Chain A
Amino acid sequence: MEPFTAEPAVPDSSQVLDADAVRRALWRMAHEIVERHRGPDDLVLVGIHTRGVPLAEAIAGAISEFEGTDVPVGELDIGLYRDDLDRRPVTRLGRTFLPVDVTGVSVVLIDDVLFTGRTVRAALDALSDLGRPQRIELAVLVDRGHRQLPIRADYVGKNLPTALEERVRVRVDAIDGETGVWIERAR
């Protein structure tokens, strides 16, 4: 791990998790998921675009390593289900793709940060249009609090108390070229 150097554009930020810590957290979450489901069968991991997708793949990779089973990984873009389209226009949509029919199976939704809960609300709507899973759970790398909806995570990499005006930035190697979690202070 290279020492973290703050980018000039984000002068006041501090690193909360480095790449090793993220890897360990994902590894632990993978174990928790398999333990709660008594094995990796009838399980589908669905990453929420953008950074939930590589996190889902990392968890599936961990399960494959310690269980010897490949858990299917899907992708969900919730752009068409958001309740704030008027404020944040969508110009691009990620791929929505489920490798198997999710009706009757257990789905674990995976995202980088749980904040207001609105993304998860949208993801639940999107998923319901694609099938009727027997059960839907939520795994997040970071839970930063400040929920605006009655939603909670079943698996959490790190609980991170934050001020409302702070920003949590998750970077994932596959997308950002480095892995870690940072808090950016309000300026």
Chain B
Amino acid sequence: MRNLLSIRDLDRVRIEELCSLADEFLAVMRRPIPQVPALRGITVATMFFEPSTRTRLSFERAARGLSADVMGFQAAGSSVAKGESLKDTALTLRAMGANIMVVRHGSAGAPKRVAEWTGCPTVNAGDGANQHPTQALADTFALLRRFGRLDGIRIAIVGDVRHSRVARSDVEAFTRMGASVTLVAPPPLLPPDLTGWPVAVSDQLDDLLEELDVVYLLRVQTERGGATVLPSVEEYARRFGLDAHRLGRMPDHAVVMHPGPMNRGVEITPDVADHPRCLVLDQVEAGVAVRMAVLFRLGAGLKGEAPHG
């Protein structure tokens, strides 16, 4: 594995392999000393050209858990505000000794360019509405821990699929692992062209509840223009929001997922958000573990190599 740019780079065996590694890293995270020396001497650059707190912190926590050094970078307040290009920023960080690039950017394909320019192993931490592979791995791993396998598991992904890189990545990961996925959204929030998506589609959440093992709620993304096509947030919450009544209609084993940050009172009511069958915090913990697995696989081969620059 040279880069992780898209969940498409991973077949089922690779996904299972990373989740199996993540299982051991989860055990490491729960030790009194939650750190192993596997990536001592490696430096991970987290280049975030879009605001993000949880994903950046998750990568940094994962890197430190492997004893790697971290160079953090947020667009706001940096030279990007002065007009420095993505390429110059990436090459500058490499010249400072970064070995692994973690890139979030508003444009699809930006992480791939960084990988080409720097020659460093690169992880896509979210590019535009395109891909967010480590989130998909985190969600897959959280479900594997809950159900043991994804074969035959019925999942509804509810909300703004159109603007969601999480939905794109999750659909590919979940179906590759044997789950069946239904996208549930008002038509304006579905991608205009669903050709090739291995999914069913519905605009009636209430028709599906009894048949679901997992409801995956997407965030109503006001920052990506999702809110502008909605008649109103209240109307969305009434038709697609998950409340205790809808949760009660689902099977007893069914679980609720959300990539965070949650809009309590919009896509999820506060009592469901705090419900024991809501896996949000399991997803966060799984996220650190799979990012440790990814960084470990990318970084272990670099030890002993002279730094660039």
Contact = CB atoms under 8 A, between A and B. Distances in A.
Interface in B271-309: 296-297, 300-305
A86 B27 CA distance: 24
A92 B20 contact: yes
Secondary structure class of chain A's binding surface, majority of residues? loop
Contacts of A87: 304
Nearest to A129: B33
A95 B20 CA distance: 10
A77 B24 contact: yes
A14 interface: no
Interface residues of B, number: 22
A90 B21 CA distance: 9
Contacts of A86: 300-305
B38 interface: yes
Given A77-B24, A96-B24, A96-B27, A85 B17 contact: no
B253 interface: no
A68 interface: no
A92 B303 contact: no
B268 to A, nearest CB: 35
Instruction: Please indicate which of the listed interface residues A79, A87, A93, A126 has the most CB atoms of chain B within 10 Å of its own CB.
Output: A93
Given A85-B301, A86-B302, A86-B304, A95 B24 contact: yes
Contacts of A89: 297, 300-301
A85 B297 contact: no
A95 B26 CA distance: 11
B148 interface: no
B37 interface: yes
Contacts of B36: 80-81, 126, 129
A125 B300 contact: no
Contacts of B33: 129-130
Interface string A92-130: 110110000000000000000000000000000110011
Interface in B129-167: none
B31 interface: yes
Contacts, number: 49
Nearest to B38: A80
Contacts of B305: 86
Contacts of A148: none
A79 B301 CA distance: 13
A8 B296 CA distance: 36
A93 B21 contact: yes
A102 to B, nearest CB: 12
Nearest to A82: B38
A5 interface: no
Instruction: Please indicate which of the listed interface residues B24, B33, B35 has the most CB atoms of chain A within 10 Å of its own CB.
Output: B24
Interface string A27-43: 00000000000000000
B17 A91 contact: yes
Interface in B53-69: 66
Contacts of A129: 31, 33, 35-36
B21 A81 contact: no
Given A125-B37, A130-B31, A91 B24 contact: no
Interface in B67-106: none
Pick the 10 closest A-B CB pairs, nearest first: A80-B36, A85-B300, A86-B304, A80-B38, A86-B303, A93-B24, A129-B33, A85-B303, A89-B301, A86-B301
A81 B32 CA distance: 17
13 contacts: A79-B38, A80-B296, A85-B300, A86-B304, A87-B304, A89-B301, A90-B300, A91-B17, A92-B20, A93-B21, A125-B37, A126-B36, A130-B33
A99 B291 CA distance: 27
